[in-house]
Amino acid sequence: MDRRELLKMIAIVTGGAVVGGELMLTGCKTGAKSEAGFSASQISLLDEIGETIIPATTVPGAKAAQIGEFMKVMITDCYTQAEQDVFMKGISSLEEACKKANSKSYMDCTPQQRHDFLITLEKEATEYNKGRDERNKAKREALNKENEKLAWKDQKEFVSEPPHYYTMMKQLTLNGYFSSKIGMTEALRHLPVPGKYDGAFPYTKGDRAWA
């Protein structure tokens, strides 16, 4: 599975374009001034969030793929300043929401409590992103009308409002895991040296996808 196909899959699963997707493909940086300032405890928290999204089964989960460190790199290199701000604020918002729901921090919750809490966040993010899409559409249309009155050099570029912070976390978890060595060689079936194309290769229900 190449990077572009992976990003398409993530967009389908999370219901929206992958934040920073184009920069992930080109390797460019956003130029955002913030280094995001992740603490060790925040990276550990992101590891555990990723592990709830992709838990270890017969193969290692997201935590083994060091998903927290992956998020740190991607957010610093591929997210705009506005997206970084939403994500970092989201870490605090997640902890506050978890304490309100479970009377304890995410790290102190049981696996079932973590799972149930993230399901709640998933629903919240879906509703938020629907409203965000409507706001973005209205703003884009208004900007297009404004740009029609301006010379090309004076036209403004539309800047999309960032999605819900949990959407970013889920996208990064999927992206980091399935592009990691563990995800590529253990969660997926890996063919290190491509062979000939076989359009009639036998498939058994339940077979893992090829990496």
In a domain, 169, yes or no: yes
Say whether pLDDT at 171 is over 60: yes
Q: How far apart are CA 49 and CA 118, in angstroms?
A: 8
| pLDDT given at position 196 | 55
- pTM for the full predicted model: 0.75
- Write out pLDDT tens, residues 86-122: 999 999 999 999 999 999 999 999 999 999 999 999 9
| pLDDT given at position 190 | 47
* Parent domain of 143: 3-187
Q: How far apart are CA 112 and CA 98, in angstroms?
A: 13
In a domain, 55, yes or no: yes
CA 125-126-127 angle, to 5 degrees, is 90
Average pLDDT over residues 10-36: 58
Total domain count for the chain?
1
Q: How far apart are CA 121 and CA 18, in angstroms?
A: 18
Tokens 């696996």 found at? 111
In a domain, 196, yes or no: no
Please give the structure tokens belonging to residue 199: 């359009």
In a domain, 119, yes or no: yes
